[in-house]
Amino acid sequence: MNLLPQPMPDLLHIMRASPVIPVIAIDDLDQAVPLARALVAGGIRVLEVTLRTVHGLAAIRAIAEQVPDAILGVGTLTLPEEFAAARDAGAVFGVSPGLTAALIAAARSSGLPLLPGVMTPSEVMAAREAGFRQLKLFPAVPAGGVGMLNAIAGPLADVMFCPTGGISLHTAPQFLACRNVACVGGSWLTPKDALAAGDWARITALASEASALRVG
């Protein structure tokens, strides 16, 4: 990855704004705004709306316009052209499942701070070499979970993580106790049955539980 480092001075601040970043896939565009409002009402302001569905960009645009208290990120960035589109829709940071030279270049040219996914020590080192100090351990549990994070905290002490993938409310505290973890990502805050029922009170309750978790 022979590219200039990409400084991301605001990304760690964003990560520390919520102990949990919900990973959101919008199947029904009408749910986007009330879902975001319910999460923010429960104390979870940092939201990752993924591009896993056709409504991803439209949902980001709607939330950006109607839920100003949300700190809005775009997830599942896998193509360079998605960066500028997500930024223009209102996202203020991006999340990718992995990292390539093309994604690094797109992040730099778009100005969208990127939280890239890594799974191995070599991938962490390559991302760090490219200028990234905030990374997503993904998928966190298959990658080794808490044991992996603790093992690399010594040799790679200048990197902070948002582990995502297989984490629940019950296991989140174990991850948040790691000295190199700033927050965790999870989908448990947005269960499909609650979304289908429009049970925003339940979403707010789940967000309140998550926002009460402590880092470190």
129, 136, 192, 209: which one is catalytic?
Answer: 136
Fold of 11-210: TIM Barrel (3.20.20)
Cα(38)–Cα(53) distance, rounded to whole angstroms?
21
pLDDT of 1 above 90: no
Read off the tokens for 57: 């960009």
Percentage of the chain beyond pLDDT 90 is 95
Query: pLDDT digits over 113-130, tens only?
Result: 999 999 999 999 999 999
Structure tokens given for 38: 């319910």
State the pLDDT at residue 10. Answer: 86
What is the tens place of the pLDDT at every residue in 73-101? 999 999 999 999 999 999 999 999 999 99
Backbone torsions φ then ψ of 189, nearest 5 degrees: -75, -15
Q: Which of 48, 82, 192, 209 is catalytic?
A: 48
Q: Rounded distance, CA 22 to CA 45, Å?
A: 9
Active site residue 65: no
136 is catalytic: yes
Q: What angle, rounded to 10 degrees, do the helices at 56-66 and 81-89 form?
A: 30
Question: pLDDT per residue over 152-204, tens digit each?
Answer: 999 999 999 999 999 999 999 999 999 999 999 999 999 999 999 999 999 99
pTM equals 0.93
Tokens 């964003």 found at = 14
